[in-house]
């Protein structure tokens, strides 16, 4: 599978017997399909485009699904472990995400044009923990010095304590 590939709908609807609530299931592939962290936006402003992360390709990639038709489109081809955190800026239809190489990237949902908007600081690990401001101007991310160690949590990417730096990227002032 590749960026831009269109997949058939996996959508189905049903009513939950216990509550009577109508449920619309958008994915049904035998893989891990996940939503973003609870405070990150996942819908474009029209409410008809939903962005999710899936490992259906073998790596974590972003996909969009049209909530009416169920049409699924692969949005990214991130290397390594694939896409990290992501958030949709609903008004501009742009997705900000960790690109699998420690950068913060921005993708246009209509053209699939992708660009790097922030890079790791020299001597530091990749950017993690993306949180986009409501206006889309700022993104808060975290990083740590390459030589930082926390023995009790080996392999833990989002570090706590004095070894972590919180950064804010201002997209109007440059990257």
User: Has residue 7 been placed in a domain?
Assistant: no
Token pair in block for residue 120:
């790791």
Nearest to residue 128, comparing CAs of 169, 75, 89? 169
Instruction: Between 7 and 135, name the one with better pLDDT.
Output: 7
pLDDT of residue 148: 61
Query: Which domain CATH number covers 71?
Result: 2.130.10.10
Confidence (pLDDT) at 70: 97
pLDDT for 158 equals 45
pLDDT in tens, 149-162: 555 445 544 444 44
Residue indicated by tokens 């692969």: 74
C-alpha 2, offset from chain centre? 17
Q: Which residue has the higher pLDDT, 19 or 153?
A: 19
Mean pLDDT for the chain? 87
In a domain, 175, yes or no: no
Any domain includes 104: yes
Establish if 8 belongs to a structural domain. no
For residue 164, how many other CB atoms are within 10 A of its CB? Answer: 17
pLDDT, residue 153, reads 46
For residue range 80-107, list pLDDT tens digits in order: 888 988 999 988 999 999 999 999 999 9
**Cα separation, 64 vs 44, whole angstroms:** 10
| Total Cβ atoms within 10 A of residue 2 | 8
More confident residue, 121 or 78: 78
Angle at 123 between CA 118 and CA 124, to 5 degrees: 55
pLDDT value at position 71? 97
Residue 23 lies in a domain: no
Q: What total of structural domains would you count in the chain? A: 1
130 domain-assigned:
yes
Of 90, 85, 77, the residue nearest 49 (C-alpha): 90
What domain range includes position 157? 33-170
Give the pLDDT score at 17.
95
- Asked if residue 102 is part of any domain, the answer here is yes
Which pTM does this prediction carry?
A: 0.85
Q: Is residue 97 part of a domain?
A: yes
């Amino acid at each position: 599978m590749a960026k831009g590939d269109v997949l058939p709908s996996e959508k189905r609807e049903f009513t939950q017997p216990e509550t009577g609530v109508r449920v619309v299931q958008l994915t049904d592939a035998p893989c891990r399909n996940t939503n973003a962290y609870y405070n990150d936006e996942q819908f474009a402003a029209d409410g008809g485009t939903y962005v999710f992360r899936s490992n259906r390709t073998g790596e974590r990639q972003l996909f969009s699904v049209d909530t009416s038709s169920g049409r699924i489109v692969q949005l990214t081809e991130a290397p390594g472990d694939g896409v990290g955190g992501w958030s949709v800026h609903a008004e501009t239809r742009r997705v900000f995400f960790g690109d699998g190489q420690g950068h913060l990237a921005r993708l246009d949902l209509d053209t699939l044009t992708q660009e790097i908007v922030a890079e790791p600081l020299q001597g530091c690990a990749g950017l993690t923990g993306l949180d986009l401001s409501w206006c889309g101007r700022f993104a808060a991310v975290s990083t740590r010095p390459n030589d930082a160690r926390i023995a009790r949590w080996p392999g833990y990417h989002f570090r706590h304590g004095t070894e972590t730096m919180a950064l804010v990227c201002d997209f109007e002032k440059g990257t």
